[in-house]
């Protein structure tokens, strides 16, 4: 089983498998009147990380699901990454995960059941790390390997964080550097140097537990995780929902240093250009080459934070405590013709 290379069994990889924002918009169109329920605090009307339902006692249930095809070759590592990515949606809403159930699609005639077992073991290990049980799930015979979780969490409503409540003047921070898409594409193309093999998996396996603590900071006005749509895609969603624009300093955006080498070697995920095409009209780039970092699809990426000036010191202290470089890379401004302006 050690010779298995899971990425050779799938046409996509990780959150790069996401349907592009433009196509997804057309899929979600409906003529059926939405069912209204005042207890549904976050639903389909905003493109947030999870649904949130008020329990009537000052807390709410968070419900989310996420799954994708292999982004790494090792089955156990794939399971850990997919689980971390799914659980992240709970943290991005400011909540605490309670339990998870597994979603598994497996080409049973092509890959041995023992390989799938390793994937599940990786997912279970990450769930244990997050302090939740992997309580069940569902599996199907599918042409390509697929794994993920449906996760249930809980949040105190006064600490609920959304992606559409940012305000003009908020500063922008990110808890993980960009570039995972370039590194994993290099791996799939056989160009990744052995000394760089650990970089992307270590980043992707790291759970975003810090979101629980960020949620306690009153001045944090919006929060979301950066995944398949890239930094610009998720920032566009934040700006559009909040009726603001963003101005970012490209040189201050956190980036995995090694990823720039692989971008020069043309290790560009297919999702990068799909992302650029989907929301390009909303973006003003200083140079078109900036898209290779800013539109790079992330898998189990970091948290994008919009924080008011009054809470910057508190946020930066928390980030430093968690060994995250507290770099402000942009700010929110009154909305204009472009939702994101890159300088």
Go through 97-130 and write b for each residue having 16 or more CB atoms within 10 A of its CB, e for each that does not.
Answer: bbebebbbbbbeeebeeebbebbbebbbbbbebb
- Whether 15 is catalytic is yes
In angstroms, the Cα distances linking 161 to 143, 227, 245 are 37, 17, 19
In angstroms, the Cα distances linking 285 to 78, 113, 124, 334 are 34, 47, 41, 18
Would you call 153 exposed, middle or buried from its count of C-beta atoms within 10 A (0-12, 13-18, 19+)? buried
The rounded distance, in Å, linking the Cα atoms of 314 and 164 is 22
Angle between helices 75-92 and 113-130 (to 10 degrees): 40
H or E stretch covering 60? strand 59-68
Phi, psi of 120 (to 5 degrees): -65, -40
Q: How many CB atoms lie within 10 A of CB 326?
A: 16
Phi, psi of 284 (to 5 degrees): -115, 105
Residue among 15, 17, 170, 267 flagged as catalytic: 15
Residue 220: closest CA among 61, 144, 65, 332? 332
The residues carrying an active-site annotation are: 15
């Amino acid at each position: 089983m050690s010779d298995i290379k899971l990425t050779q069994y799938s046409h996509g990889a990780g959150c790069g498998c996401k349907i592009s924002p433009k196509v997804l918009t057309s899929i979600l169109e409906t003529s059926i009147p939405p069912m209204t329920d005042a207890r549904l605090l976050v639903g389909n009307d905003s493109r947030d990380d999870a649904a949130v339902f008020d329990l009537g006692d000052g807390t709410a249930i968070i419900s989310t699901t996420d799954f994708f095809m292999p982004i790494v070759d090792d089955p156990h590592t794939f399971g850990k990454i997919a689980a971390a990515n799914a659980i992240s949606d709970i943290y991005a809403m400011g909540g605490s995960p309670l339990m998870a159930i597994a979603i598994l699609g497996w080409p049973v005639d092509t890959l041995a059941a023992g390989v799938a077992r390793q994937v599940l073991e990786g997912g279970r290990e990450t769930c244990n790390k997050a302090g939740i049980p992997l309580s069940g799930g569902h599996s199907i015979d599918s042409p390509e390997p697929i794994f993920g979780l449906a996760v249930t969490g809980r949040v105190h409503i006064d600490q609920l964080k959304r992606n559409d409540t940012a305000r003009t003047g908020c500063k922008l921070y990110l808890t993980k550097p960009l570039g995972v898409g370039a590194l994993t594409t290099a791996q799939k193309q056989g160009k990744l140097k052995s000394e760089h093999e650990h970089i992307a998996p270590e980043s992707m396996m790291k759970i975003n537990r810090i979101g629980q603590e960020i949620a306690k900071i009153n001045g944090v006005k919006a929060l979301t995780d950066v995944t398949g749509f890239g930094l610009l895609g998720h920032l566009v969603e934040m700006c559009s929902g909040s009726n603001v624009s963003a101005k970012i300093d490209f040189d201050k955006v956190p980036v995995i240093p090694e990823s720039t080498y692989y971008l020069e070697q043309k290790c560009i995920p297919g999702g990068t250009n799909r992302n650029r095409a989907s929301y390009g009209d909303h973006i003003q780039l200083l140079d078109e080459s900036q898209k290779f970092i800013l539109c790079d699809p992330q898998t189990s990426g970091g948290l994008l934070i919009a924080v008011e000036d009054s809470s910057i010191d508190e946020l930066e202290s928390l980030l430093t405590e968690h060994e995250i470089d507290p770099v402000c890379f942009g700010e929110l401004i009154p909305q204009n013709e472009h939702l994101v302006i890159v300088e």
